Amino acid sequence: MVVIFLGITLTVLDGSMINLALPGIARDLQASAADTILVVNAYQIATLALLLPCAALGDRASYRQVYLGGMAVYAAGALACVLAPSLPLLIAARALQGVGAAGIMAVNPALVRLTYPASMLGRGIALNSVVVATSAVAGPTVAAAVLSVASWHWLFGLNIPLGLALLVLGAQALPHNVARAVAPPRLRTVDVILNILFFGLMFLGMNMLGGSAGASAHSASPLTGVALVAGGLAVGAFYVQRQRSEALPLLPVDLLRIRVFALSMGTSITAFAAQVLTFIALPFLMLDVWHLSALHAGLLLTAWPCGVVIVAPLAGALIGRYHGGLLAGLGLAFLCAGLALLALMDGEPSTLQVAWRLLLCGFGFGLFQSPNNHTIVTSAPLSRAGAASGMLATARIAGQASGAVLVTLVFSLAGTAGGRGPRAAIGAAALLAAIAAAFSVARVRKPAVR
């Protein structure tokens, strides 16, 4: 489990800690700030576009081999990032890292399922959820600590020895598949290409729509974003139609026909969108309206992951005793309440007033995440554990991307003066949490498919 947890920690951290290094990268490589954003986007696009192909490889061959191959590519990409002499080469190296990260993320929950016995699977998924949630919010703090004593190259360089160590340990400790499809069909190249085009076009289009929502005269045209999203939807429609006739589809439409699986995916996407809306909007309130220092704001934000860490073991213990939809729905109700209370605060609240609201949000998110992840993983047949794992990671990243676009749109409509935009964004996050709770409770009507 140490190998599995450390692997997902590296990849999730990498997705959130590079933002802080972008000014230094732009300066050292003599690039514009706008161009350096591609260092982040290249990693995210490569990861999102290849999650499902990597998961399909795991179902057909071995989750262990996909994980180890992903870790090898990830470490090689980190080395290429350290040595990159120019921005285009750094962007290419980051895309290579994203390919490796896709292999690691795609089979992470499947490996957890193979490692834990059924009676303890809830606890294993709860621990995995804590690792993912904590890593996602710890990225900027880790980056700040590294950049305070070293250059941005070390953000990539530290991944090299860690990746190699996990490669060696994983080869010795990771489990082999105990069940997989009999005589599975080969992956079709055209399906992989369609998958990459669909997720790539949608991600780029949504990012451009978010960027064009601002007031800058140099922003990308919204028509470009609309065209990319429209192209992505057209590709997606053709892609889904092809997958419906496949015995073992790359895009797991067979799993999406399972009602509880589809509702759990909707719950996950909506909840992660609410989380990202809050994490982007709240610092504007803290720094510009409440006049907190960056250190004070950073410490306050840790109340959320602390809440997740505290409640996740309890959530894991409750899995199996109570319906996952009910547990997750209760957690999302807590999240909705915490977000609404944050949005309604006036003046300059005290540290305690902010902290307990964020702690409530963390409690709610932790109570939602473990049961929801457990439902997604276990509602699929064991031979399709890789596909379920890939969809779990896809839902998280898709929700985060959607949340980032939504907060930009809210800011552009409401402005940021006086905290109007940030408060409106957090209010929108509360609404999304309520919608996610409705998705979750809807699952209680029927038991999960085992």
Q: d(Cα 136, Cα 398) in Å, to the nearest integer?
A: 14
CA–CA distances in Å: residue 102 to residues 82, 230, 403? 20, 25, 21
Q: What is the model's pLDDT at position 349?
A: 87
Confidence of residue 246 (pLDDT cuts 50, 70, 90): confident
Q: Contact at 8 Å (CB) between 383 and 389?
A: no
* AA identity, residue 16: S
Q: What is the model's pLDDT at position 183?
A: 55
Tokens 């057909």 belong to residue: 60
Half-sphere exposure (Cβ direction) of 10: Cα atoms closer than 13 Å? 35
Percent of the chain past pLDDT 90, that is, above it, reads 36
Return the minimum-mean-pLDDT range out of 77-81, 164-168, 343-347, 409-413: 409-413
Q: Contact at 8 Å (CB) between 359 and 307?
A: yes
Q: Contact at 8 Å (CB) between 368 and 319?
A: no
Q: How many CB atoms lie within 10 A of CB 447?
A: 12
Token couple for 72: 């090898």
Q: d(Cα 171, Cα 295) in Å, to the nearest integer?
A: 41
Average pLDDT over residues 167-195: 80
Confidence of residue 234 (pLDDT cuts 50, 70, 90): very high
Confidence of residue 221 (pLDDT cuts 50, 70, 90): low
Q: What is the model's pLDDT at position 235?
A: 95
Q: What is the model's pLDDT at position 184?
A: 64
Chain Cα centroid distance, residue 211? 20
More confident residue, 204 or 99: 99
Q: d(Cα 278, Cα 426) in Å, to the nearest integer?
A: 5
Q: d(Cα 268, Cα 396) in Å, to the nearest integer?
A: 7
Q: What is the model's pLDDT at position 181?
A: 55
DSSP classification of residue 319: B
Q: What is the model's pLDDT at position 222?
A: 75
Q: d(Cα 56, Cα 155) in Å, to the nearest integer?
A: 31
Q: What is the model's pLDDT at position 210?
A: 66
Could you report the per-residue pLDDT of 88-146, keeping only the tens digit for each?
A: 999 999 999 999 999 999 888 888 888 888 778 877 887 887 788 778 777 777 887 88
CA–CA distances in Å: residue 446 to residues 257, 258, 326, 361, 433? 14, 11, 12, 28, 22
Q: Tell me the residue length of the chain.
A: 450
Confidence of residue 432 (pLDDT cuts 50, 70, 90): very high
Burial of 450 (0-12, 13-18, 19+ CB in 10 A): exposed
Confidence of residue 448 (pLDDT cuts 50, 70, 90): very low
Q: What is the model's pLDDT at position 53?
A: 92
Q: What is the model's pLDDT at position 215?
A: 44
Token couple for 129: 């959820």
Q: d(Cα 357, Cα 345) in Å, to the nearest integer?
A: 10
Whether the pLDDT of residue 220 is over 60: the answer is no
Q: d(Cα 288, Cα 299) in Å, to the nearest integer?
A: 16
Identify the CA nearest to 232 among candidates 106, 44, 45.
45
Q: d(Cα 274, Cα 49) in Å, to the nearest integer?
A: 22
Q: Contact at 8 Å (CB) between 114 and 177?
A: yes
Token couple for 186: 């080969």
Whether the pLDDT of residue 275 is over 60: the answer is yes
Exposure string for 263-283, b = 16+ CB within 10 A, e = fewer:
bbbbbbbbbbbbbbbbbbbbb
Q: Cβ neighbours of residue 219 under 8 Å, at least 6 residues apart?
A: 211, 212, 213
Q: d(Cα 408, Cα 405) in Å, to the nearest integer?
A: 5
Average pLDDT over residues 415-430: 87
Q: What is the model's pLDDT at position 70?
A: 95
Could you report the per-residue pLDDT of 5-34, keeping only the tens digit for each?
A: 888 888 888 877 887 787 788 889 988 766
Q: What is the model's pLDDT at position 212?
A: 56
Furthest CA-CA distance within the chain = 64
